[in-house]
Chain A
């Protein structure tokens, strides 16, 4: 089997090309750094089997970061048949630096010139034939996201693999002095001139790759500082000359991206615009999702009534019918009813991400994050937390400092994950009709604010220190492709359905058992194990206005999975007396009546706040334990989030009892913002005092 390695700058489209070549379904993110690990896939072309390795995105092969070191070493050690260097044609100057370093490795190379559609749109004239002649390697123009040029690319790969000399390229010839140094080093360390990696090793000694230096037994460092600087300078000069010869840009050109960024990245209006987009996302989620939710609800109602009728006719035991209709169908159906809303939410978020906008939000937040002592890079895992906290916690691996990682991990549970959405959908539609989007927006916003507030506290106490510098390339805006967005939405929808059929189904069966049995056997719900447990813990929640056993029990089971709160509410209130006739008729209105009776408006508001902020689900806690390798941080995360949620929900309840919910929400949000402002100002002052003392 032949090996092909994909190398290129971050966000050049490597993962998209990888998926296109191999038919894999790796996640594609329109922000740099999606691929930090090595991924492998396979494809067959002209009866030849290929294994494709997708390397992490790097700007160069200089030995300054782990990814860069590994990418270079992998190619040299594995010696793949072909290296495909994917280049973002709309940013040629920066991409070519890596290309020149890849050519220095002297491995057969093919260049895939991606994003040619953007180059055409910008009316840039690029002479690809001339560029290919100058670099000495085949160049194939492609558009990976539109599947254009892939057949030509496969053909070029096959050709180069058969005749490697076609792709060996023309590496940069350095100045006489540097070439002499390279030759001297090759001689000194007995590197075989005929061996392609020898020259690369000599260059790595000049560039002070500590691993290569150690393997060759180099004893003294800093001998070639001048040569090292000169080499970088020469490579850039070569790139400038090359671009002058092969590219013609229109005069005084301002791209759409630059125009859009003047507004979307504005220092003052950028974040309010992001807020407006998110508000529109929630409006769409409720409006469009609501249209489809009705038929889904009717479907489950019909299923429930039909199952009841058929099983009764077959003489199945009453308790089994109750388990299936009140337990399984109510529990699973109560969550699946919101599937259309969830699908629309992820559709909107995927469009924002694939368009290139979400990467800018991380940049907009950088200023904010740096004020609290965290890198803007830490906001990317927090953004991922809008989907699911588990991958978000794992995404903190991209943060260099352990301190930043732990701080981000402690902040992530406050970001409103997709599993909490059904709770908002249920409660907002029951208690705040017409204002569902506003309520959901408030909850998402409050989650971010509380996370940031906790960040300011942690950076002054548990994780002292300043944030690492954050460098992030902004991707060009583009119209999201149906394929990328469709794949992303399907993955989320599939995950939601699988969870409903597995975790939530199991939770529903267990809860049904808890609600129908006690030590004496089968019993009324009010005397069940569930009711006893709920009564025991209800006093904890009483100050928040919902000290009834039903909601208390739901919140406890919600630690298993957040959607389980809705499942449990559907089962408990669907089985309760308040359900009455409506529930028997097979629709959800009985359950909704039950909820309305159990929660005063202020209590519903505090229940939403508590659900947003309290202890993360079991899966998140487990991942925190694994990532920190410490039980201490897992228990700390579980405990402190519960305490924060309790305080916020009690304050929210108190406010909502006196004022309208809208005023209470505003007070909570502005109060939190005020605390953040106070803490950051206080921190700045301390820093100024320390500076003066120095």
Chain B
């Protein structure tokens, strides 16, 4: 029982951390605020109108 829960927890934490790291890497690559899924304009960031 203990071993199964340990493996389950390890898999869940591993999956979560991998997901966060890959999302962060993607956000950094795109030049977005890390950890932020919002559009930059929600923070009042001026974006060139013509973009």
A residues lining the B interface (CB < 8 Å): 25-27, 29, 33-34, 36-39, 56, 66-67, 70, 311, 314-317, 320, 323-324, 328, 384, 387-388, 390-391, 394-395, 397-398, 491, 495, 498-499, 502-503, 505-506, 509-510, 561, 617-619, 622-623, 625-626
Interface residues of B, count at CB 8 A: 33
A326 to B27, CA, bound (A): 29
Q: Are A27 and B42 in contact (CB under 8 A)?
A: yes
How distant is A319 from chain B, measured CB to nearest CB, in Å? Answer: 8
Closest Cβ of chain A to B35, distance in Å, is 5
Q: Which residues of B contact A619 (CB under 8 A)?
A: 27-28, 33-35
Chain B CB count within 10 A is highest, among A33, A509, A625, for: A509
Chain A residues in 8 Å Cβ range of B40: 391, 394
Of B2, B17, B36, the residue contacting A509 (CB under 8 A) is B17
Nearest-CB residue, chain A, relative to B24: A503
Interface residue ranges of B1-39 to A (CB < 8 Å): 1-3, 5-6, 9-10, 13, 16-17, 20-21, 23-24, 27-28, 31, 33-36
Given contacts A505-B16, A505-B17, A622-B31, contact A314 B47 (CB under 8 A): no
Q: Whole-angstrom distance from the CB of B50 to the nearest CB of chain A?
A: 7
Enumerate chain A residues within 8 angstroms of B49, measured Cβ to Cβ.
36-38, 56, 66-67, 70
CB closest residue in chain A, given B31: A626
A391 partner, pick from B3, B5, B13, B33, beta carbons under 8 A = B33
Partner of B45, one of A67, A315, A395: A395
Chain A at the B interface: SS class? helix
The answer on a CB contact under 8 Å between A510 and B17 is: yes
B41 touches A320 (CB 8 A): no
The main secondary structure of chain B at its interface with chain A is helix
Would B31 and A623 count as touching, CB distance under 8 A?
yes
List 18 A–B pairs whose Cβ atoms lie within 8 Å, in order of A's numbering.
Answer: A29-B44, A36-B49, A324-B9, A390-B33, A390-B36, A391-B45, A397-B47, A397-B48, A491-B42, A495-B36, A499-B35, A503-B24, A505-B17, A561-B34, A617-B34, A618-B34, A619-B33, A619-B34
Q: How far is the CB of A172 from chain B (nearest CB, A)?
A: 27
Task: Give chain B residues whose Cβ lies under 8 Å from the Cβ of A27.
Answer: 41-44
Q: Smallest CB-CB separation from B20: which chain A residue? A: A506
Complex partner residue of B6 from A36, A70, A320, A617, CB under 8 angstroms? A320
Q: Which residues of A contact B34 (CB under 8 A)?
A: 390, 503, 561, 617-619, 622
The one of A328, A395, A505 in contact with B44, judged by C-beta atoms closer than 8 angstroms, is: A395
Shortest beta-carbon distance, A272 to chain B, in Å? 28
Closest 10 CB pairs of A and B: A315-B2, A36-B46, A626-B31, A391-B43, A27-B44, A37-B47, A619-B34, A506-B20, A394-B45, A390-B33
